[in-house]
Amino acid sequence: MADLLTMPYTGDHWNDGLPWAGAVLPAQFYSDCKGPRADDPIHRLMRAILADAIRCFQTGFGARQPTKQRLSAEALSWILDESDGVFSFRTLCDLLEIDPIDIRKGLACWWKERVREKNCGRTPSMLPGTRGVRRKRRTIALRRSRLM
């Protein structure tokens, strides 16, 4: 290895004895491909920001903790914002070649489904203003049976 480091440069033939001299790197092979690459740190950061916003919005749905509610509201306002700032939702989606409208529609469908699940999971006795209705009916039925 020591003689490789001390080998004098003699034009284009300096790399002739090295096994990796003719190797094609993935970056060279895929350099003409469109779209963000997974190995690009900037694109990884942008995807992480986008994923964190979606995660904050979804975990804050129906949360009782004020911190989660606040984070969810902030994430939702960032996602719905139409500004063109450096770290805006629209700019990140454009750079990642993702349609922001599709993400917004997907989150809206997700939200509607969660609201539907939350509301459909209630039984009539659990609806607001109906607490104790079953107990009253049972008491009336018992009184009637005792009278007969």
**Among all chains, which residue has been given the structure tokens 């969660």?**
114
Whether residue 11 is contained in a domain is answered as: no
Look at residue 25 and tell me if it is in a domain: no
**pLDDT over threshold 90, residue 114:** no
pLDDT attached to residue 53: 94
Is 102 a domain residue?
yes
Answer yes or no: is 59 within a domain.
yes
Phi, psi of 23 (to 5 degrees): -75, 145
**What pLDDT sits at residue 138?**
60
Lowest mean pLDDT among 81-90, 96-105, 117-126: 117-126
* Of residues 109, 104, 47, 48, the one with CA closest to residue 76: 104
Residue 133: inside a domain, yes or no?
no
pLDDT(110) > 50: yes
pLDDT of residue 85: 86
Structure tokens at 40: 């690009």
User: How does residue 117 score in pLDDT terms, banded at 50, 70 and 90?
Assistant: confident
Tell me if 139 is assigned to some domain: no
Are the beta carbons of 53 and 64 closer than 8 angstroms? no
Question: pLDDT (tens digit, 9 = 90+) per residue, 32-61?
Answer: 555 556 678 888 999 999 999 999 999 988
Its pTM stands at 0.56
Q: Which residue has the higher pLDDT, 71 or 129?
A: 71
> Measured between alpha carbons, how far is 13 from 147 in angstroms, rounded to an integer?
111
Q: Is residue 4 very low, low, confident or very high in pLDDT (cuts 50, 70, 90)?
A: very low
Domain residues for the domain of 89 are 36-121
Q: Is 69 within a domain? A: yes
**95-101 average pLDDT score:** 91
Task: Tell me how many domains the chain contains.
Answer: 1
Whether residue 70 lies inside any domain: the answer is yes
